[in-house]
Structure 1
């Protein structure tokens, strides 16, 4: 008669085999593959979890790049992390192989905030990403940028007047201007003040969203799945994500609703979100997708612009010689009787060098938003496996002592000596002047608009004002003067002394403001 059950011996053998299998499997978790890029020593199961910095990761990444080379790897449990820190590595891994390295990590926390509708975090095959790229490129054509210029100039007129009238709040004036430009273009109304306005709400929530997106600031929720089931009352990261989502939903929902009311009441302003709404069926986008598209464009257009201009002002107050040289150049090109124009930017090489050096010295996204590989990629004989997280270590690339003289020194003239600011004789194959804007299929599509904004405002600020430290103890240029946590290297709030360079220029600022806003009010469409 045939036995139908297992004998004790068979059961014991099966249990032993399962135990051996699990032990062997555990041995591989946290281990670096033999053909992977080198990196710091791993621990069993954990890999490099305990080595990861929780703040300013670019500093540790740059230190490791000096030890292990322009590409190194880390293991976070069973996930492989790749960090590229040279132009050659960026070009090969992210640019040339962009179709294989253009996806984004699927983060539980960011998904909790944006409900899988944010194109920045969407994968390339997603309709959200495809619709989003098409919409953004339509917003940023050359003809569109030319039409946007009038709106920008109006905001810059108020920006200069705000600084003249209230110099101690220059930091906030930068924020208001950056937000109002984008809100006007996207939603059709201005934001004439910062406090208790959509601009202030925007910057409050974007700082929270950056914290949510900063994986180093939280436990490894995506890699250690049991953390996803920790009750909300014990999981501060869930509470942070939910609070952020609530603020964002209220902000972007109310902005969208204002556009809908304008269309319904036949009071259209011609703003971009109106065009998406009127062509919603043709575009194949849902209402929620359009709301999220507005958030993506406002997030990308306002936040980084404000951070750059604040970093530029920090440069002026910490480097008086740089400020003086920039002022002499703009005076020589523009003179005392007219405002700088966009065309003048081609004639101010030193000011362009200051801008390039600000991008190099304090990259706004020092390790970028991570990419994910969809297929195996090779570089220098090393294997980058499928589903690897890939960080572009922009800060490390720009602070490599093998390529830059005194990389920790702010020196615009390095960009006058060589086109990319590198040492004489350095091979510049693969270099491009927009490395700070990202790489591959994820390079920032708003670069052209950002550069116009930067060109006009840097020239205006140098032409009109003197910037000096005010003794408040804020406004340094060291790394501790920048905020953390968050994926962005943004200056902490600071104050400084700002004075008009002459009575004539002060009056020109007032005259331009009066011409832009003749009733000295904010207009019917202002917040």
Structure 2
């Protein structure tokens, strides 16, 4: 399907770790703050399109720091391309979905052969993957040649190729940039969509978080990253969102290099092992009552409890843990804090019957769990909140 650039090779991983480690990723906090403020303005203007706004914010942020590309306010071709390409990947990468996953010898049959429909489908889907790899990269190079490119991962790394001691080549940079683009688009939308569902299901949690935020800002300013230590309940909500309906239900497949045993099961060498992230994050021993949304599980005496296991398994485990996890967590935190500071999230009400519309809490289940479209009511908490949102949006232009 053309996704071989996302193989996590050593040089690619090193580039990602250099750019997105816990210290380096802090340089993106100003961009994350601006993106969250733009989201607030969109929610104020057209709240019913909240899922579209979440996707716009995610694409805007990723394309900005990865390629230095400014996206269109709506119907941006790069965001649309990412959505279409990722939909094919999320659908096709479910282990065992295709017979060729179980019988790899089938990959050698001719494309015209009966039963080779998976090959014909992959050939079409490959066009989207290759476009996602090439088009934004070429745009950054065009801007560099024109002298108008701003600082971004791609532009900075390409400039670094002038160093004769560089271990990287242009293809390494292109593949790594596309992997960053791939890794943050759908996952961010899924996480923030789950946050909204969690607030619909748990209005008391929303009220507690808003009271905590008001105690810090007095409703006179929007939250910033400087407030993070003062908002432990908001941080607990972020952790519980990542755990409750985790984005990726299973980890990347691993190949055993030696024979092993697990709970009495013999696992021969060269067995393919797929870890259940969902089971790890819903272990009733570690997280009692695991299917209930309870931010309090991460707190003790009003502070984050270090004795409770952090839901970092949401980002995978081992050497292939998501290198963008630090940035993902910080952008999620500031977005959730900003939305809670300014909006009330409630269940929608049918205009004709006056009945509350109960969300289904249904997800598209694939490599990435994505909330299916649902309705809700997102309204400003006060006139002061409206003023804050408009002011922040104006300063973000």
Aligned partner (choices 31, 44, 59) of residue 151 of structure 1: 31
What is the SS of the residue equivalent to 2:370?
Answer: coil
- Stretches of structure 1 lacking an aligned partner (at least 5 in a row): 1-111, 121-128, 518-527
Matches within 5 A, 1:458-469: 458-469=336-347
Matches within 5 A, 1:395-414: 395-414=278-297
Whether the 8 Å contact between 1:181 and 1:190 is mirrored in structure 2 is no
Whether the 8 Å contact between 2:21 and 2:326 is mirrored in structure 1 is no
Aligned partner (choices 217, 240, 257) of residue 138 of structure 2: 257
Whether the 8 Å contact between 2:55 and 2:189 is mirrored in structure 1 is yes
What's the CA shift for 1:156? 1.7
Which piece of structure 1 moves more, 453-462 or 403-412?
Answer: 403-412
Determine the structure 2 residue equivalent to 1:273: 154
Whether the 8 Å contact between 1:187 and 1:259 is mirrored in structure 2 is yes
What is the SS of the residue equivalent to 1:314?
Answer: helix
What's the CA shift for 1:420? 9.5
Determine the structure 1 residue equivalent to 2:325: 447
Matches within 5 A, 1:29-40: none
Is 2:58 aligned against 1:175? no
Determine the structure 1 residue equivalent to 2:372: 492
Whose radius of gyration is greater, 1 or 2? 1
Determine the structure 2 residue equivalent to 1:241: 122
What is the SS of the residue equivalent to 1:117?
Answer: helix
For 2:2 and 2:142, the matched residues in 1 are separated by 26
Change (3 A) 1:409 1:432: closer
What's the CA shift for 1:295? 1.2
Is 2:330 aligned against 1:330? no
Whether the 8 Å contact between 1:221 and 1:228 is mirrored in structure 2 is no
What is the SS of the residue equivalent to 1:499?
Answer: strand
Change (3 A) 1:288 1:234: farther
Whether the 8 Å contact between 2:251 and 2:317 is mirrored in structure 1 is no
Determine the structure 1 residue equivalent to 2:197: 314
What's the CA shift for 1:474? 7.8
User: What's the TM-score, normalizing by structure 2?
Assistant: 0.89
Change (3 A) 1:455 1:240: same
Aligned partner (choices 252, 257, 263) of residue 374 of structure 1: 257
CA deviations over 1:30-69 (Å, ceiling 9, x no partner): xxxxxxxxxxxxxxxxxxxxxxxxxxxxxxxxxxxxxxxx
Change (3 A) 1:504 1:488: same
For 1:194 and 1:241, the matched residues in 2 are separated by 29
Whether the 8 Å contact between 2:21 and 2:323 is mirrored in structure 1 is no
Determine the structure 1 residue equivalent to 2:179: 296
What's the CA shift for 1:266? 2.0
For 1:220 and 1:252, the matched residues in 2 are separated by 25
What's the CA shift for 1:403? 4.2
What is the SS of the residue equivalent to 1:216?
Answer: coil
Determine the structure 2 residue equivalent to 1:84: none
What is the SS of the residue equivalent to 2:220?
Answer: coil
Is 2:2 aligned against 1:113? yes
Change (3 A) 1:374 1:432: farther
Is 2:384 aligned against 1:504? yes
How many residue pairs are counted as aligned between the two chains? 388
Determine the structure 2 residue equivalent to 1:73: none
Matches within 5 A, 1:429-448: 431-448=309-326
Change (3 A) 1:474 1:226: farther
For 2:121 and 2:172, the matched residues in 1 are separated by 23
Change (3 A) 1:229 1:420: farther
Determine the structure 2 residue equivalent to 1:349: 232
CA deviations over 1:144-173 (Å, ceiling 9, x no partner): 423322222222221110110010101111
For 2:23 and 2:242, the matched residues in 1 are separated by 27
User: What's the TM-score, normalizing by structure 1?
Assistant: 0.68
For 2:233 and 2:373, the matched residues in 1 are separated by 27
Determine the structure 2 residue equivalent to 1:166: 46
For 2:310 and 2:206, the matched residues in 1 are separated by 26
- Stretches of structure 2 lacking an aligned partner (at least 5 in a row): 351-355
What is the SS of the residue equivalent to 2:119?
Answer: helix
For 1:226 and 1:379, the matched residues in 2 are separated by 31
Whether the 8 Å contact between 2:342 and 2:386 is mirrored in structure 1 is yes
Whether the 8 Å contact between 1:316 and 1:323 is mirrored in structure 2 is yes
Matches within 5 A, 1:7-156: 112-114=1-3, 116-120=4-8, 129-141=9-21, 144-156=24-36
What's the CA shift for 1:286? 4.5
Whether the 8 Å contact between 2:186 and 2:368 is mirrored in structure 1 is no
What is the SS of the residue equivalent to 2:147?
Answer: coil
What is the SS of the residue equivalent to 1:253?
Answer: helix
For 2:33 and 2:236, the matched residues in 1 are separated by 23
For 1:205 and 1:356, the matched residues in 2 are separated by 29
Determine the structure 1 residue equivalent to 2:78: 198
For 1:340 and 1:226, the matched residues in 2 are separated by 55
For 2:182 and 2:298, the matched residues in 1 are separated by 30
What is the SS of the residue equivalent to 2:345?
Answer: strand
